[in-house]
Structure 1
Amino acid sequence: MTSQSNSETSGRGLPRRVGQLFAGLVLYGVSMAFMVESRLGLTSWDVFHQGVSKATGLSFGWVVILTGVPILLLWIPLRQKPGFGTIANLVVIGLVVDAALAVLAPGDSLAMRVTYLVVGILLNGVATGMYIGARFGPGPRDGLMTGIVHRFPRLSVRLVRTTIEVAVLATGFLLGGTVGLGTIAYALAIGPLVQLFLPVFAVTPRGRRVRLAPSLGTS
């Protein structure tokens, strides 16, 4: 493929990539709201967000946004550079989750709560595939993990990821965040779901096959 055809393909794909990025971020915020209202357990980072929300009185969405700022500042010594998707991720998800929580009816019965949990996890898988597939850069939390690995290459991704997840989960639990069946279900399901949906939404130049290795979890 010539450089000219690459440029033309990139130009035609940009509107789709931007639209897919924002659609993915909106769906991600909605998926978080479903999991919160299920009251059956949250992702590690969302346990932390909920715990901080309970401790400070701030809304869940504003905690997502405000905690993302110092995390993003940690990128500086790690020599990470945020992309357009990083900044969009920082703002959009928090605003959407607050809006979704305002209109989503609480799960009253156990059947409804389980339904919320399943819908939340499925939507999260679709949303993750969409925003990662748009190729505009990782979210603040995923970028922290990859930045540490790049800065300290002797550390494995698995070690860094596990350490961060355990630390935020434990902190969030101590602050009153919800840990339960949903926390385990998400951990088991999100990998296969993203593996399923990422190829569907991966935006690549025409004529090329690009393998994307996502960093799973909250953006």
Structure 2
Amino acid sequence: MVKNSMKIFSVKSVPITAWSSKKPLNFSPEPLTIFMLCIGLVLFGLGESLIITAAIGMSPWTVLADGLSVVTELSIGALTFLISLAVLLLWIPLRQKAGIGTILNVVIIAAVIEWSLPYLPHPEEFFLQIFQAIIGTLIVGLSSGLYLTSNLGPGPRDGLMTGFQRVSGLPIALVRVFLEISVITVGWLLGGSIGVATVIFAFGVGPSVSMGLYFFQFFQKNTKD
């Protein structure tokens, strides 16, 4: 059992599945490819919304934007956009490739969050808030594993994760945890606010992404049989 757990959290690549695009910059993907991409991004947005409505802390990258807002006096929304642009620039030395999935990542996730927030539970008991934040983090991680298998280009932060993984050779789970903790640290030092959900996300999203990718590794084997 311990050995299997180690395998789950030691995934180092995004598996190639039956619906994976041959290249990220593909403007005419197969219907199944775009379907899997969109399903993954919709679930990603719902996971983010669950974390938001849990109301016990912001995601690590929002903490960074919050901290920068203290220093620059710009809005968190504007800084979130600027941070995304800065992350995309970091793709250049990492030789990370963008695609239509990179654009749809921003559009679909934002739309789902906007639409779903009024309809999701807003728990008041602390235990339920923690539970909801954990579920939201799991959904974000697992859905990341799903949409990444489409190979149509990752979102800015997921691209940073896969880029650093390729350069370092470390497991995706470890790379993601390192990135999230680094972002939290910088955001906190700048004056950003940290909550329980922030910590849950930082330590949980990397292993969750790895779990999703591990599952599709098995699916990949099944498609070959």
TM range (shorter): 0.5 to 0.7
Residue of structure 1 in register with 2:100 after alignment: 84
Residue of structure 2 in register with 1:172 after alignment: 187
Query: CA contact under 8 A between 2:41 and 2:147: conserved in structure 1?
Result: yes
One-letter code aligned to 2:224 = R
Are 2:200 and 1:185 equivalent residues in the alignment? yes
- CA deviations on 1:33-90 (whole Å, 9 max, x unpaired) are 211222334443243245557864444xx65444312321332344432122222223
Residue of structure 1 in register with 2:113 after alignment: 97
Q: How many residues align?
A: 196
Alignment of 1:129-208 (within 5 A): 129-147=145-163, 153=167, 157=170, 164-173=179-188, 174-180=190-196, 182-198=197-213, 200=215, 208=224
Are 2:117 and 1:117 equivalent residues in the alignment? no
Q: Structure 2: any 5+ residue segments left out of the alignment?
A: 1-17, 23-28
Change (3 A) 1:57 1:107: farther
Are 2:133 and 1:108 equivalent residues in the alignment? no
Query: CA contact under 8 A between 1:68 and 1:90: conserved in structure 2?
Result: no
Shift of 1:102: 4.8
Residue of structure 2 in register with 1:215 after alignment: none
Query: CA contact under 8 A between 2:41 and 2:105: conserved in structure 1?
Result: yes
RMSD of aligned alpha carbons = 3.9
Change (3 A) 1:144 1:187: closer
Are 2:173 and 1:126 equivalent residues in the alignment? no
**What SS is found at the alignment partner of 1:106?**
coil
Query: CA contact under 8 A between 1:39 and 1:178: conserved in structure 2?
Result: no
**What SS is found at the alignment partner of 1:76?**
helix
- CA deviations on 1:15-39 (whole Å, 9 max, x unpaired) are 1221111121121122112112223
Are 2:40 and 1:24 equivalent residues in the alignment? yes
Alignment of 1:16-55 (within 5 A): 16-49=32-65, 51=67
CA distance in 1, matches of 2:144, 2:61: 15
CA distance in 2, matches of 1:206, 1:161: 28
One-letter code aligned to 1:171 = V
One-letter code aligned to 2:97 = K
Change (3 A) 1:198 1:204: same
Query: CA contact under 8 A between 2:87 and 2:157: conserved in structure 1?
Result: yes
Query: CA contact under 8 A between 2:177 and 2:202: conserved in structure 1?
Result: no
User: After the TM superposition, which of the residue ranges 189-198 and 135-144 deviates more from structure 2?
Assistant: 189-198
